[in-house]
Chain A
Amino acid sequence: MAVMAESVAAQVKRSSLWTRAFESRNFLGAMFMVPAIAILILFLAYPLALGFWLGLTDTKIGGAGRYIGFQNFVSLAKDSVFWLSVFNTIFYTVTASVVKFAVGLYLALLLNERLPFKSMIRAIVLLPFVVPTVLSAIAFWWIYDSQFSIISWVLIKAGLITRYIDFLGDPWNARWSVVAANIWRGVPFVAITLLAGLQTISPSLYEAANLDGATNLQRFRHITLPMLSPIIAVVMTFSVLMTFTDFQLIYTITRGGPINSTHLMATLSFQRAITGGNLGEGAAISNAMIPFLVAAILLSFFGLQRSRWQQGGRD
């Protein structure tokens, strides 16, 4: 044994550093991770860090900025348009997410039943998700148009109203309009994901509950909802994050108007940075979204923590 060990040691000594490196588990592991890390650094970490840095400078388009500390944030704190955009973003996210969840869950439950043309209906439900956002936003722009709105036209023909509705000219009308467009676009994601979750629930659980004497409502309350809760947490986290950072719909339909009443933080950031040329200030607005997003992620992180019944093994 000792002789063998010596000869192996001698061999190792003779082999070059290069060969030994490629036989080392740690070195190889690090090498395999390099491409992924490079991509992450180049396209995620670097832009994020640059965004942070820009937020602390007074960079304008065409000119190198200088470090000004938290001055951008101080001026934003006194900026009523910024605070309006914060309010709009929260309003937009909360109302749209709540309705998307309710409608999505309802659709998922419906699609989980035996329906005629089920697969066709499922495909139709997915449509809003498939259409490029800008195209559907333009369609909504027409639907909400002050002269050609099909909604106003139908309501007038039906004799329910006498004047065309000014969907995008009035602040609250405009807010509800973009919320409606966002709901239309976001429901399929929620519905299809929840449907996938529903289909993992064993039918025998419902049969057992049926024999145990549960009514439809009790089955939903005691079986469906608790079994679905992990999926709900994931779906709603994604839904909230996507809604909070929404840009395309607003920018296409209202560009933040009328009088900034539909400006979200994302659209305001873009307007100040790119349209207005104040890269520093725009970056600061983007940075201001981070605490909200982190809060949302933390909330779902704790919500997502597997409840005790999901953990396997013995205690």
Chain B
Amino acid sequence: MSSVQIRDVRKSFGNFEVLHGVSIPIEDGQFVVLVGPSGCGKSTLLRMLAGLENITSGTISIGDRVVNNIQPKERDIAMVFQNYALYPHMTVGENMGFSMKLRGESTGEINKRVKRAAEILALSPLLERYPRQLSGGQRQRVAMGRAIVRDPQVFLFDEPLSNLDAKLRVAMRTEIKELHQRLKTTTVYVTHDQIEAMTMADKIVVMHDGIVEQMGTPLELYDKPENQFVAGFIGSPAMNFLKGHVRVNGVATFEGPNGVKLPLKNAPAASDGRPAVYGVRPEHFTIADDGAEAEIVVVEPTGSETQVFAKVGGEQVVAVFRERHQFNPGDKVRLKPDPSVVHLFDEATGKRM
């Protein structure tokens, strides 16, 4: 186990820079999730950490060793690939023991370690099978087994669950988290799925267009997004954004599209008349007499909750209720955001106000 330091790392392919100076400190034993939309550079960063891509500038260190010029095999890391990259001509056991075999360790030692890893992952009955004879979830576990056998300083996961069906994905999510709690190995996990990030991470790093937008614990990111991008990316369904102006005369309010009045707890200093974006999560709406007028467009019940799409001031918003309201399309209701948990962003910069 080790800490990992990523300091001002840049990556260019030819003249095209894809990472613009990324710094991420990772503590020993932490589970860090790099999350962002495709093309944000998260996988490239992971591959640089693994040594599969060169570092254009900046430094990456594992433990107290700068690894910029160290071969992948010398870095003492293990990686789980998106397509698992299992060797198709080797059995599960051979796949898991391959790295030890290359290091010339004794068959007895290899068998012992493979057996132990197989027990952890419930793979013991499958050791003689070939990858083709396994289901997706089993292959995924073999890929993790291959990583565990090596007992590395750092685990790297590159979108390991994206090839699984929805149900299995949820199950494997829990399994990976459990595995981390058990082994306590420093882990860097890349995904584009914010739910995976929220559920698994000790620390989430939200990336976008080659920069880090925000780092923090899942709830920090949920409660205090630093900018509009993070606010929209974290949380499902996504946060509603309404453009308008801050008004301060006596009480602070937000004047939304078509003059809709929305409550604010307190306005930032000297912000009267300032153009801003009002952000409210779907789960922070209530039905109240002093709410903003809204016309219901679509109602989607999921059983545990109901998603309601409605027009507020001509803009579509989504609200989520756990109570079972009887709504029909075309109904007029009054939606009230909870002013203590609404977010205000600068319209020009997208920064939190």
Residues of A at under 8 Å CB distance from B?
A: 202, 204-205, 207-214, 218, 222-223, 226-227, 307-315
Q: Are B72 and A211 in contact (CB under 8 A)?
A: yes
Q: How far is the CA of A211 from the CA of B72 in the complex (A)?
A: 5
| Contact A211-B132, Cβ < 8 Å, known A202-B83, A222-B98 | no
How long is the Cα–Cα vector from A257 to B297 in the complex, in angstroms? 92
Whether, in the assembled complex, B90 has its beta carbon less than 8 Å from a beta carbon of chain A, the answer is: yes
Tell me if B73 counts as interface (CB < 8 A to partner A).
Answer: yes
Measured in the bound complex, the distance between the Cα atoms of B72 and A207 in whole Å is 9
CB contact between A211 and one of B73, B87, B89, B90 (< 8 Å): that residue: B73
Is A309's CB under 8 angstroms from B79's CB? Answer: no
Q: Are A309 and B132 in contact (CB under 8 A)?
A: yes
How distant is A114 from chain B, measured CB to nearest CB, in Å? 14
Which residues 45-91 of B have a CB within 8 angstroms of A?
Answer: 50-52, 72-73, 77-79, 81, 83, 85, 87-90
With A308-B130, A311-B132, A315-B129 known as contacts, the answer to whether A208 contacts B102 (CB < 8 A) is no
- Known contacts A213-B99, A226-B89; A208/B132 CB under 8 A: no
A313 and B135 CA atoms in complex are apart in Å by 9
Residues 212-270 (chain B) with a chain A CB within 8 angstroms: none
The answer to whether B88 touches A204, judged by C-beta atoms less than 8 angstroms apart, is no
Given A218-B102, A313-B133, A314-B133, CB of A210 within 8 Å of CB of B85: no
Residue B324 CB within 8 A of the other chain: no
> In the complex, A222→B103 CA distance in Å?
14
A205, A209, A309: which contacts B130 (Cβ < 8 A)? Answer: A309
| Alpha-carbon distance between A204 and B146 when the two chains are bound, in angstroms | 14
CA distance A205 to B83 in the complex (A): 10
When the two chains form their complex, are residues A214 and B83 in contact, meaning their CB atoms are under 8 A apart? no
What are 9 pairs between A and B in contact, CB < 8 Å?
A: A202-B83, A209-B98, A211-B51, A211-B52, A211-B77, A222-B102, A223-B87, A227-B89, A309-B89
Shortest Cβ distance from residue B93 to the other chain A in the assembled complex, whole angstroms: 13
Contact partners of A218 in chain B: CB under 8 A: 102
Q: Decide if A208 touches B73 in the complex (CB within 8 Å).
A: no
A213-B83 CB under 8 A given contacts A207-B52, A227-B89, A310-B132: no
Q: Which residues of A contact B83 (CB under 8 A)?
A: 202, 204
Residues of chain B in range 107-164 having any CB-CB distance to chain A below 8 Å: 129-133, 146, 150
Q: Which of B51, B77, B81, B130 is the one whose CB lies under 8 Å from A208? A: B81
Taking a contact as CB atoms under 8 Å apart, the answer to whether A213 and B133 are in contact is no
- Separation in Å of the B97 CB from the closest CB of chain A? 10
Question: Which A residue sits closest to B133, measured CB to CB?
Answer: A314
> Most B CB atoms within 10 A — which of A210, A223, A309, A315?
A309
Closest Cβ of chain B to A24, distance in Å, is 40
Q: How far is the CA of A173 from the CA of B332 in the complex (A)?
A: 99
Contacts of A223 in B (CB 8 A): 87
With A204-B83, A227-B88, A309-B132 given, is the CB distance from A212 to B50 under 8 Å? no
- On chain A, the residues within 8 Å of B73 by CB distance are 210-214
A205 contacts B132, C-beta separation under 8 Å: no
For A212, give the chain B residue with the smallest CB separation. Answer: B99
Contacts of A308 on B, CB cut-off 8 Å? 130
B154 CB to closest chain A CB (Å) equals: 11
**A214, B133: Cβ atoms closer than 8 Å:** no
Check B133–A212 contact: CB distance below 8 A: no
